[in-house]
Structure 1
């Protein structure tokens, strides 16, 4: 069901969601973490085309929005693993819908 109307509270909640997920990479990072926890290099391989600098920035943003968790293990050198939080998992339906819409859109554009 699509929310209709120009209610300021609705616009504010959509703005908040877009700010938390803005950018080209955040949804792809979340999607890559939805199946299993990953280390930095594993995420980098799963999200092709992202630079290490951008990935680092996006991971920090996702962590500050409590969508992912960064765990540092006491090893030498330190092992760092990223996982999706329960709050991040609440986006599962959104990711699935975007996936299916993307498939339909691609089919429509390719004719």
Structure 2
């Protein structure tokens, strides 16, 4: 995206005149939903086909069982994921992304793109 396109798009999102209080509230709301360092990785894992608790946990290095459980519960409460329980033996629990979560996709993809560019920039500086 060129700088001109970015400026135009920013103008569509930001109010005119700018309302810093409203913008801060919007950023706080977004950061609340994004959560800490694990939430985006969990969303990415689920969107990459990991549906069961252990599969999600194995796909994210360093996350503890307790932290994953807590994040999944909070994400379900925020309508980002859906928890489906199949009453079989043993009980099967699967997680899937919601349409609301998918609306977050463009942000996640842009963060991945930026992160790759940042890593390359830092690597080239060495």
TM-score bracket for the superposition, by shorter chain length: over 0.9
Superposition RMSD on alpha carbons, in Å? 1.5
Q: Deviations over 1:43-102 (max 9, x none)?
A: 001111101000001101111110001000011121000000000000110111011000
Q: Is 1:84–2:97 an aligned residue pair?
A: yes
The answer for unaligned runs of 5 or more in structure 1 is none
The answer for unaligned runs of 5 or more in structure 2 is 1-8
Normalized per residue, the structure richer in helix is 2
Q: 1:25 corresponds to which residue?
A: 38
More RCO (CA 8 Å, sep 6+): 1
Say how many residue pairs are matched.
111
TM-score by length of 1: 0.92
Q: 1:56 corresponds to which residue?
A: 69
Q: Following the alignment from structure 2 to structure 1, what is the Cα–Cα distance between the partners of residues 49 and 72?
A: 16
